[in-house]
Structure 1
Amino acid sequence: MTPQPPKNRDKSADAEGRSAGRPGSGSARAGRWTDLARPPLNEHSLRRGMLRPGSLWSALDVVAATGSTNTDLAERAAEGTAAEGAVLVAEEQSAGRGRLDRHWSAPPRSGLFFSVYLTPRVPMARWGWLPLLTGVATAAALSREAGVDTALKWPNDLLVIVGGAERKAGGILAERAGQGVVIGIGLNVTLSEDELPVPTAGSLTLAGARSTDRDILLRAVLRSLEHWYREWQAVDGEPAASGLLEAYATGCATLGRSVRAELPGDTEIVGEAVAIDGDGRLVVATAGGVQRPIAAGDIVHLRAADAGEAG
């Protein structure tokens, strides 16, 4: 994403009082094994594996259900009760939001829905790279652990191939909170075709993943995110020096495509996505030869016929 990191999902307690205010509330409830094909996350094992001396991750809580991990973690950050490296995971989100306040929903334990809190020590002008960095880290982890080729759609979507077509399997959303940024990741893991919220959605299972063990996948994503975050901070957030710019451009399915950029204010630009610039913006070359950097907007990948009609 670019200069202004966005926002993510809302969070509210369910009828039994299971909320983000009760860490571990998802660990030992009678209904945790209601779907044997979707076992709960092992909070104890995750903490033991991730909360080590010298690690970026300082706390890890798993809750049974909530509205939005981003909203809950942002509240903790605002209150000063969340340190850098705090991770909040929900087995189910009842009021998940994506970009532009779009609704995000999925069955309990069918995916990974979590947020992390980071306080970058780099110039604030470069904080807009954090969602793109998170995309690179997540895609790399999924490729390695699940064996699924995951591409990035600018600015924050995770794409997989299902039946020869691109499908959105996840998204990333960030918002300022406290002294840092809360970054939320939503990833469809075991959703079947009839559980998808929209026909254009996908999941790791539908993409042929060799592993859908959510504990393993969550650890892999967090380790990959820590690696990229440290590399990026080590060079003061400079995207080229850290390798982030090259990695994002290499994995970005938007580049080289005809796109329609739907911008704030009901305006749009149609052209070819030709580059990611040093600020993380998508550069679109129009038919008139003008190159327009897009800082925020909704990007639609066009088919050749669509691009021809638009032009």
Structure 2
Amino acid sequence: MTSEDARGEPGGRWSDLDRPPLDAASLRRALVRPGSLWTSLEVVPSTGSTNTDLTAAADALDEGTVLVAEEQNAGRGRLERRWNAPARSGLFFSVLVRPGDAKEGAEPVPVERWGWLPLLAGVATATALSRTAGVDTALKWPNDLLVTVGAEERKTGGILAERAGTGAVVVGIGLNVSLRTDELPVPGAGSLALAGAASTDRDPILRAILRSFAQWYGDWREAGGDPGLSGLQETYAAGCATLGRRVRAELPGGGQIIGEAVAVDGDGRLVLATQDGVQEPVGAGDIVHLKAAGPAPRE
């Protein structure tokens, strides 16, 4: 069944008039064009995980493949954490890129810089949401999207980047759009609707995110993946709610590093200034959790 077929199920799971299905044909007309990053776009009614689907087929896919699901029943975050939401209540999609391929006007991006892709996706999503939904979105390092509900910061989205096949990276984005309070997976979660979004129409929001991603990805590729030259590092830092806060990085095996988050370095690592006067960089792949820490003890 296609997403278009789903419109005609009166009384069925797809009949919520407040949550109309996405129009795949319209999205393709708007986004899949000559010279665009996006080469194909498919919308499916339901799948386990769009990241899993693209990762499994990566070697047969072109750069710029987009897969969108109206519902995911096995959505994944970092470290296999689950991401579930009611059908059509959010945007759940993955894109496949090949940053190591040579392109006209752009050299291959060194593998050591590919770790910037989830941060790039965060910047692209946050800037798009500001324009289309009128919602200020902050970035929690390394892969969360935060909105303010009342006076409280809440997670409304997450990003997962995975190496796939030969030379590909699949970047998945999950975003709570119209979830109501009684639908939240956990009390501390949020949605664009709860944050007072001017619009919760998923179609223009998805278009804006993909166009923003394509722009940032193109600039990053032209700069050889250099986050400074492309403006990515500065823009990420400006929107990162983690910087300036005292946090605790929980490490595998039970260790931890506590300090003030003072920078995101050129490798995309969070730099913590510890009480001992040492600056410790931590990578997203090296931690289990990043949590707020209490005030530093007095001397």
**1:205 offset after TM fit, Å?**
0.3
Question: What CA distance in whole angstroms lies between the structure 1 residues aligned with 2:55 and 2:76?
Answer: 14
Can you list the C-alpha shifts for 1:281-300, whole angstroms capped at 9, x where unaligned? 00001111111000122211
CA 1:196–1:309: 2 relative to 1, 3 Å: farther
Question: What CA distance in whole angstroms lies between the structure 1 residues aligned with 2:230 and 2:119?
Answer: 13
**1:27 offset after TM fit, Å?**
2.4
Partner SS, residue 144 of structure 1 = helix
Is residue 253 of structure 1 aligned with residue 270 of structure 2? no
Greater shift, 259-268 or 39-48, is seen at 259-268
**1:32 offset after TM fit, Å?**
6.6
Partner SS, residue 300 of structure 1 = strand
Q: Output aligned runs, 1:226-265, within 5 Å.
A: 226-265=214-253
Question: What CA distance in whole angstroms lies between the structure 1 residues aligned with 2:32 and 2:230?
Answer: 25
- Equivalent pair of 2:145/2:158 in contact (CA under 8 Å): yes
- Equivalent pair of 1:134/1:225 in contact (CA under 8 Å): yes
Report the TM-score, using the length of structure 1 for normalisation.
0.89
- Equivalent pair of 1:26/1:65 in contact (CA under 8 Å): no
- Equivalent pair of 1:27/1:62 in contact (CA under 8 Å): no
Is residue 26 of structure 1 aligned with residue 3 of structure 2? yes
Question: What CA distance in whole angstroms lies between the structure 2 residues aligned with 1:122 and 1:237?
Answer: 5
Question: What CA distance in whole angstroms lies between the structure 1 residues aligned with 2:16 and 2:248?
Answer: 41
Structure 1 gap segments, 5+ residues each: 1-17, 19-24
Q: Which residue of 2 aligns with 1:160?
A: 147
Partner SS, residue 307 of structure 1 = coil
Q: Output aligned runs, 1:43-58, within 5 Å.
A: 43-58=24-39
Partner SS, residue 246 of structure 1 = helix
Is residue 101 of structure 1 aligned with residue 89 of structure 2? no
Question: What CA distance in whole angstroms lies between the structure 1 residues aligned with 2:92 and 2:62?
Answer: 20
**1:171 offset after TM fit, Å?**
0.3
Q: Which residue of 1 aligns with 2:69?
A: 90
Question: What CA distance in whole angstroms lies between the structure 2 residues aligned with 1:48 and 1:62?
Answer: 13
Greater shift, 97-106 or 27-36, is seen at 27-36
Question: What CA distance in whole angstroms lies between the structure 1 residues aligned with 2:252 and 2:123?
Answer: 26
CA 1:105–1:45: 2 relative to 1, 3 Å: same
CA 1:50–1:310: 2 relative to 1, 3 Å: farther
**1:103 offset after TM fit, Å?**
1.1
Q: Which residue of 1 aligns with 2:104?
A: none
**1:248 offset after TM fit, Å?**
0.4
Question: What CA distance in whole angstroms lies between the structure 1 residues aligned with 2:118 and 2:193?
Answer: 24
Is residue 182 of structure 1 aligned with residue 170 of structure 2? yes
Q: Which residue of 1 aligns with 2:196?
A: 208
Can you list the C-alpha shifts for 1:54-78, whole angstroms capped at 9, x where unaligned? 100000000000100000011110x
Partner SS, residue 216 of structure 1 = helix
CA 1:267–1:181: 2 relative to 1, 3 Å: same
Equivalent residue in structure 1 for 2:19, among 18, 26, 38 = 38
Q: Which residue of 2 aligns with 1:301?
A: 292
The higher relative CO (CA closer than 8 Å, separation ≥ 6) is in 1
RMSD: 1.4
Structure 2 gap segments, 5+ residues each: 100-107
- Equivalent pair of 2:54/2:96 in contact (CA under 8 Å): yes
Is residue 115 of structure 1 aligned with residue 94 of structure 2? yes
**1:81 offset after TM fit, Å?**
2.2
Q: Which residue of 1 aligns with 2:179?
A: 191
| Number of equivalenced pairs | 283
Query: Which AA in structure 1 matches 2:216?
Result: W
- Equivalent pair of 2:132/2:208 in contact (CA under 8 Å): yes
Query: Which AA in structure 2 matches 1:101?
Result: E
Question: What CA distance in whole angstroms lies between the structure 2 residues aligned with 1:214 and 1:271?
Answer: 38
Report the TM-score, using the length of structure 2 for normalisation.
0.92
Question: What CA distance in whole angstroms lies between the structure 2 residues aligned with 1:117 and 1:48?
Answer: 19
CA 1:310–1:187: 2 relative to 1, 3 Å: farther
Question: What CA distance in whole angstroms lies between the structure 2 residues aligned with 1:310 and 1:242?
Answer: 41
